[in-house]
Chain A
Amino acid sequence: MTERVSQRRVALVISSTVVAVLLLHYLGALRPVERVIVRALLPVGRWTASWLNPTARTSSREATARVAALGQRIAELNVENAQLRSAFEAVTEADEQDRFLATHQFEGVTARIVTRSADPTSEFITVDRGARTGVRHDAPAIVAGGVIVGRVIAVTDDDARVLLSTDNRSSFTGVSLKTPTAQGVITGARGLSLTMELIPQSESITPGDIIVTSGVDSSVPRGLVLGEIDRIEKQDGALFQSASLRPLYQSARLDVITILTVAR
């Protein structure tokens, strides 16, 4: 009898604790505690990621140079965006693009990868920049060359989770750089590659074509590089064709990324 009472007491305490933790989290009451824990563990994650990732063993001078190169690339992308915009002046949604570019500005926040998803069937990374530095939900993340690696799916004050473009749940709208009318939806394929679907059958695309973001998604500017066409799948009589894309980054070697922010 005593044993049963003790067991019930323990079960009650533990289940109450779990419910209380969940409730307090979603009410925001646990935020200070969570912040302390995350800030305490972030340096451990940064150090471990650097130690285990061979591409991350760079000196601070090299890291500074890479940051500067990324900043320059962002400036080049702005110019390229302006050029692409002028090339699409005849298209009806050009006015919407002009409005978007006029009302939004973006800057980059450099972030270091702290850890990756523990589950290898999920492709997301945790970085050491959060809302305090301007990171917002849905913000795109890029690496050198303007290659988009994913977008922010969760953000706290001090860190953020970025879902990589190769994850099955990732989705972008893209367009061929060579054939601007060849648009489609790009989704991740099992953490290894990308798939572009719903490409009109009438559009001509070839292996090697570079696919960039189309700008249809308001949080992702046009012109960020998604990947390169590797293989095309066409069926006679079908309305659409699809293509397999090779991402231009290696998720295992990611170390420093830039998250584009939106100025308020």
Chain B
Amino acid sequence: MRRLVPIALLVLALLATLFITPNLQPRLFSTGLLVPALLFTLLLGDTLLALRGAVVSGFVMDLFSALPFGSHLLAYVLTVAVTRWIFRTRITNRSLLAYLSLVGLGSLLAHLLLLISSHLGRLIDSRAISVALSGPWITFVVTDTFRTMILAILIYALVRLSGRRYVTLTAHEF
């Protein structure tokens, strides 16, 4: 039961990122839906679910992407892993600011990792396209991160209203 909410959130975020947000005009949220969903799961204390979610959502995103296979998979898994490390070693409280900082950093990291992994992936699959480092891309990353943080505030508010609490990561979570 405890895992039902984060699992449902991850599934909805994945379906929305695949089929809904790309068809909306103007374009809203890109990777910005999956990243807060994964980090929300992470900050609820379920690292394993967040990592599994990253593997599954990255795998499915790669199936529908023109980027080299594995780009999204690597980007999401590494984003969750690095964010978890920052959360464990650098964040000392559970405030909204701490959460927003993590989400903002996670979003930037996910985009950067997608850029790097897509270029690396082209070494294996030269017919695939890679993310183009350009002015519009930088603008998109910054605005998407900003939108992601706004979405994170909404998720945070909903969770607080429902009475759930974030937990610090401890050994028993594994």
Interface positions of A (Cβ within 8 A of B): 2-3, 6-7, 9-11, 14, 17-18, 21-22, 25-26, 34, 37-38, 41, 44-45, 48-49, 52-53, 114-122, 124, 126, 137, 153-154, 159, 161, 163, 167-169, 190, 252
Contacts and interface: CB of A to CB of B under 8 A. Distances in A.
Interface string B117-139: 00000001001110110101100
Given A3-B174, A121-B132, A10 B47 contact: yes
Contacts of A41: 18-19, 60, 64
Contacts of A26: 69, 124
A252 B18 contact: no
Q: Which 9 residue pairs spanning A and B have beta carbons closest together?
A: A3-B171, A6-B174, A116-B22, A48-B19, A120-B27, A161-B66, A52-B23, A124-B66, A22-B70
Contacts of A21: 55, 59, 70, 73
Nearest to A47: B19
Interface in B27-86: 27, 30-31, 47-48, 51, 55, 59-61, 63-66, 69-70, 73-74, 77, 81
Given A48-B19, A118-B17, A18 B63 contact: no
A44 B63 contact: no
B64 A115 contact: yes
B30 A44 contact: no
25 contacts: A2-B171, A3-B174, A10-B174, A18-B73, A25-B70, A26-B124, A38-B64, A44-B15, A45-B19, A49-B23, A52-B24, A114-B19, A115-B22, A118-B17, A118-B22, A118-B61, A120-B22, A120-B140, A121-B131, A121-B132, A137-B127, A153-B129, A167-B129, A169-B129, A190-B136
A34 B31 CA distance: 21
B21 to A, nearest CB: 7
Nearest to A51: B23
Given A121-B131, A122-B129, A169-B129, 15 more contacts: A3-B170, A3-B174, A6-B171, A6-B174, A7-B174, A14-B51, A17-B55, A18-B73, A25-B69, A41-B18, A52-B24, A115-B22, A163-B66, A163-B129, A167-B129
B25 interface: yes
B150 interface: no
B20 interface: yes
A153 B22 contact: no
B143 to A, nearest CB: 10
B23 A121 contact: no
Given A14-B77, A124-B129, A126-B64, A22 B69 contact: yes
A161 B61 CA distance: 13
A30 to B, nearest CB: 9
Given A10-B47, A26-B69, A49-B23, A18 B55 contact: yes
Contacts of A252: 25
A36 B133 CA distance: 34
A11 B77 CA distance: 10
Contacts of B31: 118-119
Given A14-B55, A154-B127, A115 B19 contact: yes
A45 B51 contact: no
